[in-house]
Amino acid sequence: MSGWPHHHLIDLARFSREDFATVLGLAQRFRTLPVSGGRKLPALQGRLVTTLFFEPSTRTRSSFELAARRLSADVQSFTPSSSSLSKGETLLDTVLTYVAMGADVLVVRHRCTGVPARLVHHLRTLGIRASVLNGGDGLHSHPSQGLLDLLTLARHFNPGDPGPRALEGRRIALVGDVLHSRVARSNLWALTACGADVVLCGPPTLVPDLFRRFVEAPPPGQQEDPVARRGRIEVCRTLEEALPGADAVMTLRLQKERMRQHLLSSLESYHRCFGLTHARLRLCGGSAPVPVLHPGPVNRGVEMSGALLSDPEHSLVDEQVLNGVPVRMALLYLLAASEVAQGAALDQSSLNPSSSRP
């Protein structure tokens, strides 16, 4: 763990294959440790994790908070509607207030792309060491979701060794609103880094052709891609083209709150063309049941049928939620470990569960 190179987590474009292996390995370990029912690991005792969600969330926020508690961290959460933002306090001053209270890790979600990265810049300028963990920013990035999706797929394909190699050579279809999806962008970096080929499917208004070249451009400030050879990205306009040969299908939520123009004629016509059903899933071929993922929240009957969503033979949606906790434990652990990298590293004993109740 001493080689973990990231003090903040803004996106997955900066992750090497080894970084993905580290997170998946640690998350898999946390997943198998007995940390439910009030048992906790002492790894982050004395650390303060602050969740600052300027945009609504059910899954991400609560699983980060559960993850932090399972590692014995103190947890503090900020609610914008009842905060001094309404009196005109700026976002930066709000964050600095929580830093002054001793926050070690700030988990930040914001509707505007780039807010977590700007915070990193400000904290560096001010010489503040708190880590920023992106809980989802605008259209840009949702790294913890990309990682929990990766763990879910890796566990499905190779339960005995759910590392990046489990994704090598797989064909993963991402269907729907790619344009507005930070989840899709994080998955594109993660899946291609692990050697999977990704096929994007949707109408041109939601899946522009440009996405074929998405992973070719390194993010600002990065000289070169940390991954030597990535999987390919293909763009298809129909499920009939996209699904044959797919090993898994991820449907994406139609992000009505981010759509500024009328990009669809109707939700009914969208479901007719791109909604996933048992019948459509048979287009994938093969004899084994094809897994279906969705990051949530789901528009039932739009992105996929209610029957498919609730079918345990195909749906990994609950598994994604479940995997969110150990993945976020791994991320908090790794960032807190980098926090003390110059001094004592967290040791093996910090991963042994205690029976103390929260």
Contacting residues toward ligand CP, per CB under 6 A: 57-60, 136, 142, 145, 295-297
Q: How near is the Cβ of 13 to ligand CP at its closest, in Å?
A: 19
Q: How near is the Cβ of 317 to ligand CP at its closest, in Å?
A: 10
Q: How near is the Cβ of 186 to ligand CP at its closest, in Å?
A: 10
Any idea which residue has 């913890």 for tokens?
Answer: 144
Q: Which is nearer to ligand CP, 171 or 253 (CB)?
A: 253
Q: Which is nearer to ligand CP, 60 or 338 (CB)?
A: 60
Q: Evaluate whether 85 touches 91 at the Cβ level (below 8 Å).
A: yes
> Which pair of tokens denotes residue 113?
């792309």
Q: How near is the Cβ of 56 to ligand CP at its closest, in Å?
A: 7
Q: How near is the Cβ of 142 to ligand CP at its closest, in Å?
A: 6
Q: Which is nearer to ligand CP, 144 or 192 (CB)?
A: 144
Q: Which is nearer to ligand CP, 80 or 296 (CB)?
A: 296
Cβ-based neighbour number of residue 325 at 10 Å: 23
Q: Which is nearer to ligand CP, 96 or 293 (CB)?
A: 293
Q: How near is the Cβ of 324 to ligand CP at its closest, in Å?
A: 8
Q: How near is the Cβ of 183 to ligand CP at its closest, in Å?
A: 7
Q: What is the 3-state secondary structure (H, E, C) of the chain?
A: CCCCCCCCECCCCCCCHHHHHHHHHHHHHHHHCCCCCCCECCCCCCCEEEEEECCCCCHHHHHHHHHHHHCCCEEEEECHHHCHHHHCCCHHHHHHHHHHCCCCEEEEEECCCCHHHHHHHHHHHCCCCCEEEEEEECCCECHHHHHHHHHHHHHHHCCCCCCHHHHCCCEEEEEECCCCCHHHHHHHHHHHHCCCEEEEECCCCCCCHHHHHHHHCCCCCCCCCCCCCCCCEEEECCHHHHCCCCCEEEEECCCHHHCCCCCCCCHHHHHHHHCECHHHHHHHCCCCCCCEECCCCCCECCCECHHHHCCCCCECHHHHHHHHHHHHHHHHHHHHHHHCCCCCCCCHHHHCCECCCC
Q: How near is the Cβ of 57 to ligand CP at its closest, in Å?
A: 3
Q: Which is nearer to ligand CP, 163 or 295 (CB)?
A: 295
Q: Which is nearer to ligand CP, 12 or 41 (CB)?
A: 12
Q: Which is nearer to ligand CP, 62 or 94 (CB)?
A: 62
